Amino acid sequence: MAARQRQKFIAWADIIIPTERAMTAGRNPLTLMRLLQLASPTLPVGAFSYSQGLEWCVEHGRIRDAASAAAWIGDVLRFSVSGCEAPALVAMMRAWRVGDRARIGQLNERFIAMRETAELRAETLQMGHSLMRLLCDLAEIPTETKQILRDCEEIAFPAAWSAAAQHWNLSERMATEAYLWSWLENQVMAAIKLVPLGQTAGQQMLLQLSLPIPALVKEAMANADGDWQNFTPGLAHASSQHETQYTRLFRS
């Protein structure tokens, strides 16, 4: 029995140890912690206060259970966030990497112009401004980075987020996966409160909806320097209707 247990342990060690080495090789040990910090719900940018039209869908019966919530969130993830925000984030990281001030400004303005409604525009500007202020208060952020952020008349959330991700040497893949995960987690938390759903249903939804993220990130990296796709009339309709909704918990 002892010999079999020892063999089993050795077999698992052969799998786990090389995997851990591969994950950490050539990387600052703080990289994962900075990635988690950026993707954390505690990042003080107010992401928890936005539902991106989900609240209106619940109010009007479009979303009524876990299945309909998952369908809505999955579609927005696929056709809006990963088609527009994710490639924008990658493109901005590339501009930050080479210190191209003009390119950063152009990409920031392009992204803001693609926000379809007043609420969605206000959301990215509020979160972007909050993250910009946080980064400017951090001593370790380079003065040049802070100045570029301050020079933007309006700052979108992906522009500020990409600045932090690039400064902390996150890879494009890691940063974009974390960005999509953070968005997904906030949407599921909103659904739990609004539908309402149980915590187990929320965890099941996260397990299900996170499966396509690696493939979506790969697409975003390939499309970063091309056209960003953001044709989501259902989202635009829900968001615009939410602007005049009488009772609401969320700001979008």
Average pLDDT value over all residues in the chain: 90
**9 lies in some domain:** no
**pLDDT, mean of each 10-residue run, the chain (252 residues):** 45 39 54 92 93 95 97 97 97 97 97 96 97 96 95 96 95 97 97 96 98 98 94 94 90 86
Q: What is the pLDDT of residue 29?
A: 75
3-state secondary structure 78-100: HHHHHHHHHHHHHHHHHHHHHCC
Q: What is the pLDDT of residue 252?
A: 85
Q: What is the pLDDT of residue 27?
A: 62
**158 lies in some domain:** yes
Domain count for the chain? 1
Q: What is the pLDDT of residue 50?
A: 94
The whole-angstrom separation of Cα 108 and Cα 94 is 13
The closest of 38, 173, 175, 167 to 99, measured between CA atoms, is 167
The whole-angstrom separation of Cα 112 and Cα 124 is 8
Which residues neighbour 125 within 8 Å (Cβ) at sequence distance 6 or greater? 112, 154, 155, 156, 157
**168 lies in some domain:** yes
**80 lies in some domain:** yes
Q: What is the pLDDT of residue 18?
A: 39
Instruction: Enumerate the H helices of 65-171 as residue ranges.
Output: 66-76, 86-98, 101-113, 118-137, 143-151, 157-167
**6 lies in some domain:** no
**15 lies in some domain:** no
**CATH number where 141 lies:** 1.10.4190.10
**7 lies in some domain:** no
The closest of 251, 235, 242 to 76, measured between CA atoms, is 235
**156 lies in some domain:** yes
Residue 207 lies in domain: 29-40+50-242
